[in-house]
Structure 1
Amino acid sequence: MILIRACEFLDLGIIKAQPNIFDNGPVDDINNAQRNFRLDGRGKDTEFSSQPARLTTSKISLAGMTCAACSTTISNAVSKLSGVERIAVSVPLSRATVVHHPSQTSLQDILSTIEDLGYGATAGERSAQQNLKVLEQREEIERLRSAFTNAAVVASAVSGLETVLWLHLPLVAVRMIRLVGAGLATWTQVSDAGVIHHAAWRRGLRGKLTMDSLVSLSLLLGMVLSVFNVLLFGLEEGKVYWSSLSLLTTVILGGRLLDTVLRKQSTLTFAGLYRLQEKSMFVKLVRSAAREVEGEQVVDAAALVPRDEIKIGSGVIIPCDCYVLRGETWVDQATMTGESRAVLKKPGDSLLAGTTNLSYEIVAVVSKPQEDSALESLIASISTATENSSPSKEVDTLISRFAAGILTLTVVCFLATLNARWSHVSPSLALNFACERAMAILASACPCALGLATPTAVIAGLDAAQQRGVIVKRGFETLQALSRLTHVVLDKTGTLTTGQLSVPDVQGRLDEMQRMLLCIAERDDAANHPVAGAVFRWAFAGLSEEKRRLVHEAKVCKTLNQAGNGVTCSTQLQPADEWQTVYAGNETFLQQNHILMPECTAKASAEPDSTLVHIAINNEYIGSLRLRDTIRPSAPAVISTLKHTHNLSLSMLTGDVSTEANRVAQHLQIPVLSSHALPTEKQTFVRALRARSSHNRVAMLGDGLNDAPALSAADVGIALNSTSARAGVAEATNAQTADVIFTSPELSRLPELLEIAEKTTRQAGWNLWWAVGYNLIAVGLAMGVAEPVVVVDAARAGTMMALSSVSVLGWSLWLRRDLSGISSKGAKRG
């Protein structure tokens, strides 16, 4: 009980929070990008077929799961249904995601299959409040605490009564005490252990054996044996197990209570994200894009649409991705990006859902609905990662057959013990010996420890990564791949350089109307591409508030983003205005669009240490912006750490000009794999690196749309700053192709992530070996291999069983503490 209260005392909130139809162009680009890339089973190098199979993805809310062994039982049963392509079960969220052919297997068929196993199943996903309730497990903890307390009181009372029997009491008193003890022990089985028996036999009658089945059989065997002895020898002489049964029930319930508390501790950070989601449900709407709004209105944040204007007060959680229209303020982005310092936000700057406005009231423009926000993306990614935490099919098979194997072993040992004792003692005594042995074996085995070994370690790793603003998709598989890397390929602009480009030089005079058109052309890529972001911020800062509002109200169509070269779009500022076409890109891009350029621009474009963006409106050249970038201050230390601490080979792969690529490469002392590389060329180079050796494990680190093909081709694709406000094609594509997403472009997170991956996979392996070894030793002792030195009865065996899963959870909580000590210091050791 002291240990349980200690764990509850540690229940400290990780995240503290306070309550609080514009165009078809980008959609078409997203569809085009997604036609080129999609995820297969491994998420690599698979193109969309022209006629994809009709598949349905169904979310199912589950009830009655206690551990990963239950997850395996559900997965195995559903995957055998015709038409089911894949099923992934999340133990922390009690949720299943099933990909299936609806023509072969309907959702109702899947629900019926799960219910036939003895679990609850409801179509659809839970709300944020319901998911938070599942993660916090308040009702389950309260129920287990009550049952554990009652069982402990009964066990103490029964033990006390049996102690009194040592005194020389009248026969009537002895019988009365025995009857009271039997009544209390029976009451404990009905009330406190009733849930275990009900779950065991509900599933057992359907031919499914679980840990509950083993525990229930052990308890019922003790009850039946006690009644048998009383009927055979009488109340005063018959050997009974009321005290042992009560103590075993107490130990099992106590172990489950501690197990539940520890599992709650392991998901505190995840639960904190749902608290943010819950506390940002309402917002002040100032101006609606869909209808006229007179005065401020408090509305449900889920009803917001792009172009809505909202007011965000001090201390309020930002409800959806947006950008500042009016005002300045400091924003705490730690929950989303891992940045410890507040960031000053000005007009034109993006705001992420889930971050907190610290200082002043601002007005912002909604860029994406809440369901597509950065916070929702983060929660969805971590949720998906918890569904893929199983280490291997071999472990799944072991878990699914564990209960049947233990039951078979119990029968064999029962018969062997009965046979060995039969010729030396009376038949009734031999039967007691055999039953005691069976009770001990049934009570000692715990498949939950095997099922928890990898998922608990993975959740610790995911939490540690998320606290640093890193989303790891595909859970254990991605962490394992990260721990085995041999080569890292890095993009230059926005990755090795700051990506915060400034505009020190402008050729030509751009009036306010031209700046506004330039903002419209760059608005969808501004959050994802450093060049687009710099151009957008420069142009937006020179607009009046009225013109800024027109930027997000303007109608846009025929948007074309040519990755690595430029962007063009057609826009209509107001319904009565003529359509205008804007071009922004490099010299090659404008020439491809048949735009005449002054001769002096060719020489200017060739100058090193800068990027030139040429601008044309309605096929007329109007000027250019010179952008300058700097190498990230942390880049040299990170490169040194990757080389010397992690022993990785490094290469730079960029679409920038060779002079700038060589300048950065020489400063950082890494080779240039290729410069001026197009997206498809980047993909080819990464594939070639992987093909050099069967031992090569290649990661690609990039931040733009032009890096998406290379991300899909790598063993591990790592996208920087992909979860941002006003994200467009780059986010949609990189979210499909990347295995890891950095929500902030902080390069020092990479060595931290590699260390997290190495420690997590090592701990997962240790947990698994520990669980297997522990179960073998526990079952062996229960079988009597160490007698008479070590004698294990049912109560002691139950204690060992409870400590099995508790010890695995303890190791994983220790891992959480160890991972919390990882910091960017790791990037400075080199």
Structure 2
Amino acid sequence: MLHLVVLGGGMLGATLLHAGRKLYTQHREKKSAMKTVDAPLPFSKTTIETAPISPEKKEADHYFKISALGTGLAFIGEFIYAPLLIPAVSIVMYSCVPVFRNAYESIKNKKLKASVVDSIAIIGTLSTRYYFASALAGFVYFSAQKLLLETEDQSKKQLSNIFGEQPRFVWLVKNGVEIETPFVELKVGDVIAIHAGELIPIDGVIIRGNASVDQHVMTGEAQPVEKKVGDSVLAGTLAVAGEVFIQVEKCGEETVAAKIGEILQNTADFRFSVEAKSVQLSDKMVMPTLAISGVGLLALGPISSVALVSCNFSEVIRVVAPIGVLNFIKLATEQGMLIKDGRSLELLNDVDTVVFDKTGTLTIEQPHVETLHVWGMFSESELLLFAAAAEYKQTHPIAKAILKAAQERELILPRIENAKYEVGYGIKVELEDKTIHVGSYRFMTMEMIDCPIEAENLQSYSHENGFSVIYVAVNQVLIGAIELHATVRPEAKAVIEQLQQRGLELYIISGDHEKPTRYLAHSLGITHYFAETLPENKAALIEQLQAKGKSICFIGDGINDAIALKKANVSISLQGASTAATDTAGIILMDKNLTQLPYLFELAHGLNKNVKNSFASALVPGAIGVGGVFLLHFGIYSSLVLYIASLAAGTTNAMLPLVTYRQKKEK
């Protein structure tokens, strides 16, 4: 009787473990279908819609109700009113049809699966008049099916928090008029308008205007790039300042971003390896279980044979191992880490090398003021005051960096008059009796402002070393410059040190220049780095490291990182990164920083230990039971006691990490 209850539990555990993998697969398929039907922007974020009740859910609801009725009738029939056993047995047999069907298909295909032993156990239990146990097993199984679907719905809602909704329209320019047009109607040769703060949805060429474009998700460059007439732009990049008209060269599936996405759509569908091991072991144990049971039948009789069938410990593994994985996934989720691929957490325990993307992962979007260069009679504070006053109403990262520096110096900003914005290059404002210019070196030359040799040298040096410089002029005289550098994540140094203490080898990979990449690596204590790496070469570098026998965890945030994320043994991204990265990564750090990364490795180590203990909790009692039947003449109840002890020990082991964490949290 207890064997069937455990069988139901085994089905519950194995079924639940499918939830995570099925969820992510269905999410990807749904997104792919929505791209075909609705044609959103490439990698635009979509909302997971509420689907009608699926045939799967209808079937689960049907069998859940039937098995509940059968369980009630069997209980009354076995213990109160015997005539009710007739409909109860009929209902039990009906509800077990899926198990029998699976066993039949298994035998038909000449493959003995665990369902064969399950079917024998069901029939044997009914023939020995354990009716209530048979009914209860069916009820547990279909309760698990119902719980599975509810779990999927909850997980979909959780993922929808990451993949939010964005507009699916563009501003099409016709006869000088901007017309809001669905992206799906866009054709090669059309002209669209892109304003500051808008995502560029196509590959094309600028035919009018200037803009500062953040393209780190595509190229890995740390700083926005100034784009002018004739320059090319890529889908998936962001106009942080300025306004441009772009002639469409590629749209939809033809863009660079979409081609990267197409590669990702063709990747393999992974299974949780713990689940695979459990199922494989269960299937492999069919023949030994049947053989041992047959020997027991011939040597010791039917009671011993039934006792031996009850020692099929693989059913315990199918219960406790998946529960352990699910609980570690829950534990990670409660601490801000979304595990989209349960296998990632297991594989992380084998990782010996961590590769960081530089821009957006080790650094953040907003730069910081590194140095103030002053030429002439004004002080550093006055230089910064003029720049901050001009940039006061701007929202792009460079403006925010200048305003933050002014705030730190407690500068009081004056009111400006007659602001004139030279989009993409700089700003011209009137301040009392002064005309202030703030912008790029090119902006100064366009405004006929003489630039001293110091400014020319600084411009060349900044270009070589990969940082930005904003120049400031007063009344047509260049008075100084503001040097802006990429901002390293405040938690990066401590995280790097903790990972190194675990014996992990660390690399940085970047599309940025060699000097700033080298400087960042040395400042963080990282020996190995790759600079000026093209997007298509990132994955090749991952493969080169793997060819040397290294197990790689890659951490990235951009569209250009997506293929490398898929090539790595384990892939991690941050919430708020590009949709391509969060779609591809097996793990997402929901707090948008790297703080939880060392703890993630601790969880992986804990999971590995927990799974080993789960296997031991099943193997040891099972072996004792088989030996006890042959050597000590254990009967059915003795075997069932061991089975219960095995299940209890395994379940306790699987639940303990989550229970312990919640107890500590309550304190």
TM-score range, shorter chain: 0.5 to 0.7
Q: 1:821 and 1:586, CA in 2 relative to 1: closer, same or farther beyond 3 A?
A: farther
Aligned residue pairs total 489
Distance in 1 (alpha carbons) for counterparts of 2:399 and 2:59 = 42
Paired position in structure 1 for 2:255:
none
Paired position in structure 2 for 1:647:
503
- 387, 393, 400: which is aligned to 2:283? 400
Paired position in structure 1 for 2:554:
700
Distance in 1 (alpha carbons) for counterparts of 2:452 and 2:556 = 34
Paired position in structure 1 for 2:491:
634
Residues 1:439 and 2:306 are matched in the alignment: yes
Gaps of 5+ in 2: 1-9, 27-47, 173-180, 185-196, 200-251, 253-263, 373-382, 403-422, 425-438, 443-450, 472-480
Render the CA deviation track for 1:586-643: whole Å, top value 9, x for unaligned: 99xxxxxxxxx9984551353599832799xxxxxxxx99644433232232122212
Distance in 2 (alpha carbons) for counterparts of 1:749 and 1:691 = 29
Distance in 1 (alpha carbons) for counterparts of 2:441 and 2:54 = 48
Q: 1:820 and 1:656, CA in 2 relative to 1: closer, same or farther beyond 3 A?
A: farther
- Aligned residue identity for 1:814: L
Paired position in structure 2 for 1:458:
325
Paired position in structure 2 for 1:761:
608
Match of 2:597, SS?
Answer: helix
- C-alpha deviation, 1:489, in angstroms: 2.8
Q: 1:670 and 1:201, CA in 2 relative to 1: closer, same or farther beyond 3 A?
A: closer
Kept in 2: contact 1:91–1:387 (CA 8 A) = no
- Aligned residue identity for 1:636: K
- C-alpha deviation, 1:401, in angstroms: 4.2
Paired position in structure 1 for 2:427:
none
Q: 1:202 and 1:450, CA in 2 relative to 1: closer, same or farther beyond 3 A?
A: same
- C-alpha deviation, 1:814, in angstroms: 2.9
Kept in 2: contact 1:151–1:250 (CA 8 A) = yes
Kept in 2: contact 1:756–1:819 (CA 8 A) = no
Kept in 1: contact 2:77–2:84 (CA 8 A) = yes
- C-alpha deviation, 1:493, in angstroms: 3.3
- C-alpha deviation, 1:709, in angstroms: 6.1
Match of 2:488, SS?
Answer: coil
Paired position in structure 2 for 1:156:
79
TM-score (norm 1): 0.46
Q: 1:218 and 1:689, CA in 2 relative to 1: closer, same or farther beyond 3 A?
A: closer
Q: 1:259 and 1:778, CA in 2 relative to 1: closer, same or farther beyond 3 A?
A: farther
- 803, 810, 813: which is aligned to 2:655? 813
Distance in 1 (alpha carbons) for counterparts of 2:400 and 2:516 = 20
Render the CA deviation track for 1:387-423: whole Å, top value 9, x for unaligned: 6113487754432343444334333322223xxxxxx
Residues 1:492 and 2:347 are matched in the alignment: no
Q: 1:688 and 1:679, CA in 2 relative to 1: closer, same or farther beyond 3 A?
A: same
Kept in 2: contact 1:389–1:458 (CA 8 A) = no
- C-alpha deviation, 1:735, in angstroms: 4.2
Q: 1:471 and 1:393, CA in 2 relative to 1: closer, same or farther beyond 3 A?
A: closer
Paired position in structure 1 for 2:573:
719
Kept in 2: contact 1:135–1:267 (CA 8 A) = no
Match of 2:526, SS?
Answer: coil
Q: 1:701 and 1:199, CA in 2 relative to 1: closer, same or farther beyond 3 A?
A: closer
Q: 1:221 and 1:659, CA in 2 relative to 1: closer, same or farther beyond 3 A?
A: closer
Render the CA deviation track for 1:221-240: whole Å, top value 9, x for unaligned: 5766xxxxxxxxxxxxxxxx
Render the CA deviation track for 1:483-514: whole Å, top value 9, x for unaligned: 1222223333332333333689999x99xxxx
Kept in 2: contact 1:502–1:534 (CA 8 A) = yes
Match of 2:600, SS?
Answer: helix
- 629, 635, 641: which is aligned to 1:791? 635
- 4, 18, 23: which is aligned to 1:90? 18
Q: What pairs with 1:721-736 in structure 2 (closer than 5 Å)?
A: 721=575, 724=577, 727=578, 731-732=579-580, 735-736=583-584
- C-alpha deviation, 1:746, in angstroms: 0.8
Paired position in structure 1 for 2:342:
475
Distance in 2 (alpha carbons) for counterparts of 1:675 and 1:287 = 35
- C-alpha deviation, 1:459, in angstroms: 2.8
Paired position in structure 2 for 1:410:
293
- 748, 753, 756: which is aligned to 2:595? 748
Identity %: 20
Paired position in structure 2 for 1:606:
461
Q: What pairs with 1:418-437 in structure 2 (closer than 5 Å)?
A: 434-437=301-304
Gaps of 5+ in 1: 1-64, 72-88, 99-124, 158-179, 225-240, 292-303, 308-322, 326-368, 370-380, 418-433, 520-525, 536-550, 552-566, 568-583, 588-596, 616-623, 824-830
Q: What pairs with 1:514-593 in structure 2 (closer than 5 Å)?
A: none
Render the CA deviation track for 1:226-277: whole Å, top value 9, x for unaligned: xxxxxxxxxxxxxxx5xxx23xx43455566567778988998754334568
Q: 1:533 and 1:690, CA in 2 relative to 1: closer, same or farther beyond 3 A?
A: farther
Q: 1:392 and 1:279, CA in 2 relative to 1: closer, same or farther beyond 3 A?
A: closer
Distance in 2 (alpha carbons) for counterparts of 1:686 and 1:816 = 34
Paired position in structure 2 for 1:668:
524
Distance in 1 (alpha carbons) for counterparts of 2:302 and 2:271 = 40
- Aligned residue identity for 1:751: P
Paired position in structure 2 for 1:449:
316
Kept in 1: contact 2:19–2:148 (CA 8 A) = no
- Aligned residue identity for 1:389: F
Distance in 1 (alpha carbons) for counterparts of 2:90 and 2:398 = 69
Kept in 1: contact 2:311–2:643 (CA 8 A) = yes
Match of 2:365, SS?
Answer: coil
Kept in 2: contact 1:493–1:654 (CA 8 A) = yes
Kept in 2: contact 1:488–1:651 (CA 8 A) = yes
- C-alpha deviation, 1:753, in angstroms: 1.7
- Aligned residue identity for 1:637: A
Match of 1:814, SS?
Answer: helix
Q: 1:442 and 1:674, CA in 2 relative to 1: closer, same or farther beyond 3 A?
A: closer
Q: 1:779 and 1:189, CA in 2 relative to 1: closer, same or farther beyond 3 A?
A: farther
Paired position in structure 1 for 2:620:
773
- Aligned residue identity for 2:356: L
Render the CA deviation track for 1:419-477: whole Å, top value 9, x for unaligned: xxxxxxxxxxxxxxx3333333345536443334543333333333344454445432x
- Aligned residue identity for 2:18: S
Q: 1:219 and 1:436, CA in 2 relative to 1: closer, same or farther beyond 3 A?
A: farther
Render the CA deviation track for 1:664-696: whole Å, top value 9, x for unaligned: 44543333534555546655655554455x3x3
Distance in 1 (alpha carbons) for counterparts of 2:497 and 2:663 = 21
Residues 1:273 and 2:155 are matched in the alignment: yes
- Aligned residue identity for 2:306: M
Q: 1:714 and 1:437, CA in 2 relative to 1: closer, same or farther beyond 3 A?
A: closer
Q: 1:743 and 1:275, CA in 2 relative to 1: closer, same or farther beyond 3 A?
A: closer
- C-alpha deviation, 1:748, in angstroms: 0.8
Kept in 2: contact 1:464–1:816 (CA 8 A) = yes
Match of 1:606, SS?
Answer: helix
Match of 2:272, SS?
Answer: coil
- C-alpha deviation, 1:750, in angstroms: 1.1
Render the CA deviation track for 1:521-578: whole Å, top value 9, x for unaligned: xxxxx9xxx899999xxxxxxxxxxxxxxx9xxxxxxxxxxxxxxx9xxxxxxxxxxx
- 80, 90, 94: which is aligned to 1:190? 90
Choose between structure 1 and 2: higher helix proportion.
2
- C-alpha deviation, 1:769, in angstroms: 3.4
- Aligned residue identity for 1:632: R
- C-alpha deviation, 1:648, in angstroms: 1.8
Kept in 2: contact 1:386–1:475 (CA 8 A) = no
Match of 2:613, SS?
Answer: helix
